[in-house]
Amino acid sequence: MPEYLVFRLYGPLASWGGIAVGEYRPAEPSPTKSAILGLVGAALGVRRDDAVAQAQLRRDYLVASIVHGGGTLLRDYHTAQVAPERAKKRYWRFATRREELSVPRDELNTILSTREYFCDALYTVCLRAATADPIYSLAEIAEGLRHPAFVPYLGRKSCPVALPFQPQVVAGSTLREALEAVTFHDRDLLRSRPGGKPEERAIGMLYWEGDEETGFAAEARYTKPRRDLPIDRMKWQFIERDEHAARIEIPVGVQ
């Protein structure tokens, strides 16, 4: 019976970046695969410039997520100072924001952007090995999420995690069976969040990849391409993958 790693994502702000052109930086309603793999890599201490390990993370795992409540959309207007491209070539590769702003003041430019966030959104993430010999076992990833090597965040560094991940490795013949075997201990705490109504029949959106049946009685199912599969973390390049989506009744243990 296949194993699944299930964990929780919750914070006051979350931002899952979509395709960004120019100054508009949209947030998507469900976690991107790049964000989930980035969070897992950070927990395990995998650096962005480790191309081999990053490629194995991309190849070795399939992801699924439940959006319990989409949260409240927040748009934030930003201005920021940046060094021009010629300064980056003239001086050095900037390792920190402080280094970037240390170039002569008259060479700094100002950029404008509108960035989107979701407030009080709650997600359950499920990870499954896609190969027989993944780079890390699900138990190793669970331990990394309990004691992360690098600080994890929900899409952007300005979006801290507000609750423990509570990672659990469970077995199930389908995704639904695995989720039914999980129990999170933050249900009472999350009752007061906007949209948190555990006394009602809990309906959410399920997003997943792969051809296996999920075991859910899915409503309004559809499949679409999503450009969120990272091929180069340093150059910030992504390719498309197929992602399925459907409305489901959320199992009691993960409500």
Q: How many domains does the chain have?
A: 2
CATH number, domain of 161, equals 3.30.70.2660
Distance between CA atoms of residues 189 and 197, nearest Å: 12
Return the exposure string of 220-233: e unless at least 16 CB atoms fall within 10 Å of the residue's CB, then b. Answer: eeeeeebebbbeeb
Higher pLDDT, residue 232 or 14: 14
The letter for the amino acid at 162 is A
Give the per-residue SS3 of 227-255.
EEEEEECCCCEEEEEEEEEEEEECCHHHC
Concatenating the DSSP letter of every residue in 84-148 gives -HHHHHHS----SHHHHTTS-GGG-EEEEEEEEEEES-EEEEEEEESSSS-SS-HHHHHHHHHS-
Residue 207 CA to residue 223 CA, distance in Å, equals: 9
Domain extent at residue 95? 72-117
Same domain, 109 and 167: no
Do 85 and 59 lie in one domain? The reply is no
> How does the average pLDDT of the chain come out, rounded?
88
**pLDDT band at residue 226 using 50, 70 and 90 as cut-offs:** very high
Query: What is the rounded average pLDDT of the residues 9-28?
Result: 87
Q: What is the pTM of this model?
A: 0.86
Look at the block and give the residue holding tokens 């490795």: 169
Q: State whether 87 and 46 are in the same domain.
A: no
Q: Is 201 in the same domain as 130?
A: yes
Whether 105 and 184 map to the same domain: the answer is no
Same-domain pairing of 159 and 246: yes
The distance of Cα 149 from the centroid of its chain, to the nearest Å, equals 17
Q: Does residue 124 share a domain with residue 34?
A: yes
Residues 45 and 127 in one domain: yes
Q: Given this model, what pLDDT does residue 111 score? A: 81
Residues 79 and 12 in one domain: no
Least confident residue range of 156-165, 166-175, 192-201, 235-244 = 192-201
Mean pLDDT of 53-76: 92
Query: Is pLDDT at 67 greater than 70 in this prediction?
Result: yes
d(CA 167, CA 110): 42
